Amino acid sequence: MKRTSFVLLLSVSLAGCQGWQSALDAHGPAARTLADMFWIFTAVLGTVWVLTLGALLLALRRRRAAGTDPLATNPAIERRMTVVVSTAIGMTFLTVLALTGISYGGQRVLYGHKDGTLTLLVTGRQWWWQIMYEDPQPNRVFTTANEIHIPVGEPVLIKLESADVIHSFWIPNLTGKMDAITGRQNQIQIQADRPGVYRGQCAEFCGLQHAHMGMLVIAETKEDFERWRNNQIASAKPPSNPEQQRGMEIFLSKPCVMCHQIRGTDAGGKIAPDLTHVGSRRYIAAGTLETTRGNIAAWIIDPHGIKPGVNMPTIQLEPDEVQPLVSFLEGLK
Partner 1 sequence: MTHTLAPHDAALDAVPKPTRLLTGQPAGKPGFRSEADAPPNPRELRDDQVDGPELTARLVRTWGTRRGIIGALSTVDHKIIGKRYIITAFIFLFLGGLAAVVMRMQLARPESGLIGPDLYNQLFTMHGTTMMFLFGVPIGEAFAVFLLPLMLGTRNIAFARLNAYSYYVYLFGGAMIWVAFMLNIGPDVGWFAYVPLSGPEFSPGKRVDFWAQMITFTEVAGIAVAVQVVVTFFKMRAPGMTLDRVPLFVWAELVNAFIIIFALPAVVTASVMLIMDRLVGTHFFNPAEGGDALLYQHLFWFFGHPEVYIIFIPATGWVSAIVVTFSRRQAFGYIPLVLSMIATGFLSFGLWVHHMFTTGLPQLGASFFTASSMLIAIPNGIQIFCWIATLWDGRPVFRTPLLFVMGFFFIFVAGGLSGIMLASVPIDAQVHDTMFVVAHFHYVLIGGNVFPLLGAVYYWFPKFTGRMMSERLGKWHFWLAFIGFNITFFPMHISGLMGMPRRVYTYLPEMGWGNLNLISTLGGVMLFGSFVLFLVNVLVSARRGAVAGPNPWDAGTLEWAASSPPLPQNFDRIPVVTNREPLWAHRNTLPVAAGLSVENREVIISTATSGRADLKESSPEPSIWPFLAAIATTITFIGSIFTPWAIVWGGLPTMITLVGWFWPKGNKEDEA
Partner 2 sequence: MRILLITSLTVLTLTACEREDREYRANPVTAESEEKIALSPLSAGPNPPFERRSGMGQDYEENAFHVSQGKKLYVWFNCNGCHANGGGGSGPPLMDDRWSYGGQIENIVQTIREGRPNGMPSFRGRIPDDQIWQIAAYVRSMGRYVSKDVASGRNDDMHPAPAEQRRPPGQMIDGGQVPNSALMPQ
Is residue 148 a contact partner of residue 200, using CB atoms and an 8 Å limit?
Answer: no
Q: How far is the CB of 270 from partner 2 (least distance, A)?
A: 9
Closer by beta carbon to partner 1, 165 or else 233: 165
Q: How far is the C-alpha of 302 from the C-alpha of 307, rounded, in Å?
A: 9
Q: Does 166 engage in binding with partner 1 (CB under 8 A)?
A: yes
Q: Does 129 engage in binding with partner 1 (CB under 8 A)?
A: no
By a kind-dependent CB cut-off of 5 to 8 A, residue 58 interacts, out of partner 2, partner 1, none, with: partner 1
Half-sphere exposure of 296 (CA within 13 A, CB side): 21
Q: Does 249 engage in binding with partner 2 (CB under 8 A)?
A: no
Q: How far is the CB of 25 from partner 2 (least distance, A)?
A: 36
Q: How far is the C-alpha of 37 from the C-alpha of 103, rounded, in Å?
A: 8
Q: Does 15 engage in binding with partner 1 (CB under 8 A)?
A: yes
Binding pattern for the stretch 169-188 against partner 2, x by CB under 8 A and - elsewhere: -------------x------
Pairing of strands 118-125, 167-169: unpaired
Q: Does 210 engage in binding with partner 2 (CB under 8 A)?
A: no
Q: How far is the CB of 283 from partner 2 (least distance, A)?
A: 22
SS3 219: strand
Q: Does 323 engage in binding with partner 1 (CB under 8 A)?
A: no
The answer to whether the Cα torsion of 200, 203, 205, 211 is positive or negative is positive
* The residue type at 239: P
Q: Does 1 engage in binding with partner 1 (CB under 8 A)?
A: no
By a kind-dependent CB cut-off of 5 to 8 A, residue 271 interacts, out of partner 1, partner 2, none, with: partner 2
Closer by beta carbon to partner 1, 112 or else 238: 112
By a kind-dependent CB cut-off of 5 to 8 A, residue 253 interacts, out of partner 1, partner 2, none, with: partner 2
Is residue 275 a contact partner of residue 254, using CB atoms and an 8 Å limit?
Answer: no
Closer by beta carbon to partner 2, 141 or else 271: 271
Closer by beta carbon to partner 2, 237 or else 254: 254
DSSP string, 116-174: -SEEEEEEEETTEEEEEE--SSGGG-EEEESEEEEETTS-EEEEEEESSS-EEE--TTT
Is residue 31 a contact partner of residue 173, using CB atoms and an 8 Å limit?
Answer: yes
Closer by beta carbon to partner 1, 206 or else 325: 206
Closer by beta carbon to partner 1, 109 or else 132: 109
Among the listed ranges 18-26, 289-297, 305-313, 319-327, the one in contact with partner 2 (CB under 8 A) is 305-313
What is the Cα 238 distance to its own chain's centre? 34
Identify residues 197-226 at the interface with partner 1 (CB under 8 A).
Answer: 199, 201-211, 214
Closer by beta carbon to partner 2, 49 or else 205: 205
The closest of 152, 177, 157 to 166, measured between CA atoms, is: 177
Q: Does 268 engage in binding with partner 2 (CB under 8 A)?
A: no
Q: Does 52 engage in binding with partner 1 (CB under 8 A)?
A: yes
* Of 77, 234, 252, 271, the one binding partner 1 by CB under 8 A: 77
Task: Using alpha carbons, list the distances in angstroms from residue 325 to 113, 272, 329.
Answer: 45, 17, 6
Q: Does 59 engage in binding with partner 1 (CB under 8 A)?
A: yes
- Packing angle of the helix pair 75-111, 29-61 (nearest 10 deg): 170
What are the backbone angles phi and psi of residue 62, rounded to the nearest 5°? Answer: -80, 135
* Of 254, 280, 295, 330, the one binding partner 2 by CB under 8 A: 254
Size of the residue set binding partner 2 (CB under 8 A): 18
The closest of 308, 286, 289 to 298, measured between CA atoms, is: 289
What is the gyration radius of the CA atoms in the chain, in angstroms? 28
> Which positions touch partner 2 (CB under 8 A)?
182, 253-255, 257-259, 271, 302, 304, 308-311, 313-316
